[in-house]
Amino acid sequence: MKELMSNRAHQLKLAIFAATGGIGREIVAQAVTAGYDVTAVVRNPSKMSAAVRTVTADLATADAAKLELAISGSDAVLSGLGARSSSEAGVAWRGTQAIVQAMKAVSVRRIVVVSAAPIGTVPSPGRPNPSKHDPGDGFFMRNLLSPLTKLALREHYADLALMEEILRQSGLDWTIVRPPRLTDKPLTGVYRIAYGKNLRRGLFISRANVAHLMLRVLDQPESIKQTIGIAN
Ligand SMILES: NC(=O)c1ccc[n+]([C@@H]2O[C@H](COP(=O)([O-])OP(=O)(O)OC[C@H]3O[C@@H](n4cnc5c(N)ncnc54)[C@H](OP(=O)(O)O)[C@@H]3O)[C@@H](O)[C@H]2O)c1
């Protein structure tokens, strides 16, 4: 599969947003290794260690022309964007909306983003009454962990729920990856996934393996317009 991925990789141009984040850095590293043509879009270029084409853009105040230039000619956009603190919450939906508008302006259709495992049960304006429980969650997750994290991270999760809604309504070829708690463990390429639901007893996943899935789905048309749960 690695060989297949790298054969196709040579033809693909990727625009990678939030390339200096935990997942973003992993996407860039794995994409470069696989031979993709990478443009990294970051708000702070001094944090970039990989030697790839880099565009500077703060997604809280994004300039449309700059985003269009960064995305133009790409085969796909990948985004690890997310608020680093609750005071920054709102950046995921606003930034993704700006990315979506720029993609439409330059006719790029494919986008893969990171959300979070509980978001299927978080209301958003277009989906005010989501399912109370994710079909993949077991008793402990449904009744204890999910309610607690939803309380602690409510601004982050409202931001991600709106980001998901923007993608669902975008008409683009989106895939949303919903990880549980992220770790910095190394890439293994060994993990479970499920379309449209979380994984039973799936409490952790490494950022490296999330990045692996985000690149892998580029070759999987069945992942278009899907949310995907991932876990160890
Ligand atoms: N932590 C968890 O356990 C967990 C679990 C499930 C889902 N998630 C979601 O997964 C996302 C990615 O995880 P991660 O560990 O890679 O997060 P991270 O390291 O905090 O990365 C967030 C990225 O978003 C970028 N960003 C934030 N505001 C921006 C702005 N105004 N303009 C441009 N870029 C901006 C950051 O840029 P800088 O590098 O310049 O700060 C960073 O690259 C999280 O944000 C969260 O929504 C997290």
Total-model pTM: 0.96
Q: pLDDT tens per residue, the chain (232 residues)?
A: 444 455 565 579 999 999 999 999 999 999 999 999 999 999 999 999 889 999 999 999 989 999 999 999 999 999 999 999 999 999 999 999 999 999 999 999 999 999 999 999 999 999 999 999 999 999 989 998 889 999 989 999 999 999 999 999 999 999 999 999 999 999 999 999 999 999 999 999 999 999 999 999 999 999 999 999 999 9
41 CA to middle of ligand 1, Å?
13
The ligand 1 site (C-beta within 6 Å) comprises: 18, 20-24, 43-44, 47, 58-60, 80-82, 84, 88, 91, 95, 114, 116, 156, 160, 179, 181-182, 207
Nearest atom in ligand 1 to 82's CA: 45
Task: Tell me the best of 44, 46, 78, 84 to mutate to test the pocket of ligand 1, counting ligand atoms within 8 Å of each CB and taking the most.
Answer: 84
Residue-level pLDDT at 120:
96
How many angstroms is it from 129 CA to the middle of ligand 1? 27
Check residue 35 and give left, alpha or beta (phi > 0: left; psi -120 to 50: alpha): left
What pLDDT sits at residue 4?
46
The burial class, CB within 10 Å (0-12 / 13-18 / 19+), for 191 is buried
pLDDT of residue 11: 77
- Please report the pLDDT score of residue 9 as a whole number: 58
Q: Which residue has the CA at smallest separation from atom 20 of ligand 1?
A: 84
- What phi and psi values does residue 116 have, to the nearest 5 degrees? -150, 150
pLDDT at 62: 84
Q: Which residues of 68-82 are buried (b: 16+ CB within 10 A; e: fewer)?
A: bebbbebbbbbbbbb
* Burial of 183: CB neighbours in 10 Å, binned 0-12, 13-18, 19+: middle
